[in-house]
Amino acid sequence: MIFENTTGKKFTFNQMVNEVIRWTGEYHDSNFTYVVATDSQVHKVRRKAIWYTTYITLVWVHRESKGGRLFIIKDKVDGKIEMVKRLMRETELSIALMTEISESRLKDRIDDFSVHIDVGRLGKSKSVVESCLGWVLGMGWNAEIKPEAIGAYCCADKFSKGNN
């Protein structure tokens, strides 16, 4: 699992955990929110009938009113994957990362984490809201859906649309 921050610096999982602990430790009097989110995007290679899907999973640590840190995992899969399967895979990737976090040095902060799921009660994703939300809640973690899930539909979405 290799993460990249917004400046292109690469981190292993343990390096990412250490960086989160280091950075938040510098501001022990601040309030932080911790988000895990995934979004995906189907891409077509220009002028060719070749499709691929990009998944972006991220850890977003936000210091209240003072900015934050993003750690991003990119995964590229061949083919055009339909929306419901992508949404379920997005949820699966977020759960897998939360599982790793819950077993790491960040486990004492796990109750401060929230999984942002790119589904909502309106629109095309409404058919899988209960499945995705129930899956995350069933794991014992906090979850947000649209419109509160800005980690998924804003942050991860921004990186899933680029050329990967």
Per-residue pLDDT, 123 = 87
Distance CA 4, CA 57 (A): 11
For residue 115, the SS3 value is strand
Per-residue pLDDT, 154 = 65
Question: Could you state, in order of their start, the residue ranges of all structural domains in the chain?
Answer: 2-160
Per-residue pLDDT, 76 = 94
Q: Are 20 and 33 in contact (CB under 8 A)?
A: no
Please list the rounded mean pLDDT of every run of 10 residues in the chain (164 residues).
Answer: 94 98 93 94 89 94 91 95 95 97 96 94 92 96 90 72 60
Rounded to two decimals, what is the model's pTM? 0.92
Per-residue pLDDT, 164 = 43
Q: Which residues pair with 37 in a beta bridge?
A: 58, 116
Residues 6+ apart with CB under 8 A from 118: 37, 38, 39, 87, 90, 125, 146, 149, 152, 153, 156, 157
